[in-house]
Amino acid sequence: MSTEVRVPTLGESVTEATVATWFKQPGDAVAVDEMLCELETDKVTVEVPSPVAGTLSEIVAAEGETVGVDALLAQIAEGDAAPAPKAEAPATPATPETPATPAPAATARTDVENAPSANKMMAENNLSDVQGTGKDGRVMKEDVLKALTDTAPAPAATTPAPRAPVAAEQAEREERVKMTRLRQTIAKRLKDSQNTAAMLTTYNEVDMTEVMALRNEYKDLFLKKHGVKLGFMSFFTKACVHALNEVPEVNAEIDGTDVVYKNYVNMGIAAGTPTGLVVPVINDADQMSFAAIEKAIGVMGAKARDGKLSMAEMQGGTFTISNGGVYGSLMSSPILNPPQSGILGMHKIQDRPMAINGEVVIRPMMYLALSYDHRIVDGKGAVTFLVRVKEALEDPRRLLMDL
C-alpha cells in the first residue's frame, strides 16, 4: 500500500515553498514522524515528517523545486514494501522516448518562415524565442508585440543595473549561489518599505548609568526568583510601551486612506539568524512584567536561532526594536518593518565624556535611532517618543510611576 506525502499548510498568506533538503532517498526505510524533507518558505523553514512507517519509494519534488500547498512531495510504500518497482521505473524506456516526440516538432518549426515584420521587430528588440500563433507556428507581428508587453515590466522590476564585466581569471574564483526564499523576501520587503513609506529617522542618546546600576543590583535576585536573566531588552520594551501610550501614531499603520490605531502593543524583536533577519513578535507586551518579557524574548530567540519560529509568531507586530549594538554598531538608521510606522534602533554602549552639572564625567552612553513613517507620524511626535524613551531609561522609576 502506498501513502502520499504532501505539502502541509504553510500558514497565513503563504502559498508556496521551495524544497530545500531531502533527508531520505528512494529506498530508505522511514519511521513514523521521521523527518523526510525541509521546505523553505519566504518566512520560515518547515519540516515534513513521515505520516507512516515504510520505505520511501519515490521523490516527486526534487530539491530546488517550488511547490504549492498540498502538492505531492513523495510516495511511501507502507510496511516492508521493497523499492524494486521504483528501481524498474527509471529502467523503462520512458526517457529515450521523451526527446523523440519534441524532435519532429522542432525540425518542423525550422521550416516555417516568420512574417518579415516580425523578424525585423525581433531583431530590433533582441528577441529570439517568441511563441507563434500563425499557420504552422509562424511568428506574426502581433506575437512579437505581445511578447514585448509581457516582458517589458520584468526588466524594470528585476534588473536594477547590469552587472559589470568580470575578468576571466577573476570569474573562475567567484561563486554564484541562489538567494534563499527568506533572503529574497527580506530584500523585497525592505525595498518595498523604502519605496512606499516616507521614512525618516531621528536620533538621540541615552545615559545608561541608572539602568546598568539597577540591573547589576537586582540581576541575581531576579534570576533566582524568575529563572531568567535580567537583560536590557525588557527595559527598552517597557520604555517603548510607555512612549507609545503617549504617541499612539507611532504604534499605528496606514490602511488605504485610513489610519488604524492599535490599543495594544505587539512588540517585534528583530533577531539575526544564519539564514537572515527575522522578527518574532511578543503579543500584548504592554500587559507583561519584566520577567514575562525576558522569558518571551529568551524563548523566541532560541526558536529563531534554531529555525523553529512559526508563522503566527512572526505576524501581527505593531512596533519593532532592533539591537544592532550586539554586533558593535555605534550608529545606524533602521528600516521600517511594514506595515508598521516605527522602529527603534539600539546601539553599542560606549563610555564617553559628558558635561554634567558643569563637570566632565565619563558615562556609558548609547545612541538611539527612531525610523518612522512621516505620512502619519510628524516630527514632533517622533522626537517626543524618543525623548520619552530616553527619560524612562535614564530614570527607570518613571516606569513605575507612569510618568
Phi then psi dihedrals of residue 253, to 5 deg: -145, 160
Angle, CA 211 vertex, CA 207 and CA 216 arms, to 5°: 130
Q: Are 394 and 210 contacting, i.e. CB atoms less than 8 angstroms apart?
A: yes
Q: Are 344 and 368 contacting, i.e. CB atoms less than 8 angstroms apart?
A: yes
Residue 374 designated active-site: yes
The conformation of residue 9, written as its DSSP 8-state character, comes to P
Residue 220 designated active-site: no
3-state secondary structure 105-132: HHHHHHCCCCCHHHHHHHHHCCCCCCCC
Catalytic residue (one of 33, 192, 306, 378): 378
Helix (H) or strand (E) holding 3: strand 2-6
CA distance 310 to 333: 28
Catalytic residue (one of 28, 226, 374, 395): 374
Among 81, 89, 15, 34, smallest CA distance to 59 is for: 89
Q: Which residues are catalytic?
A: 374, 378
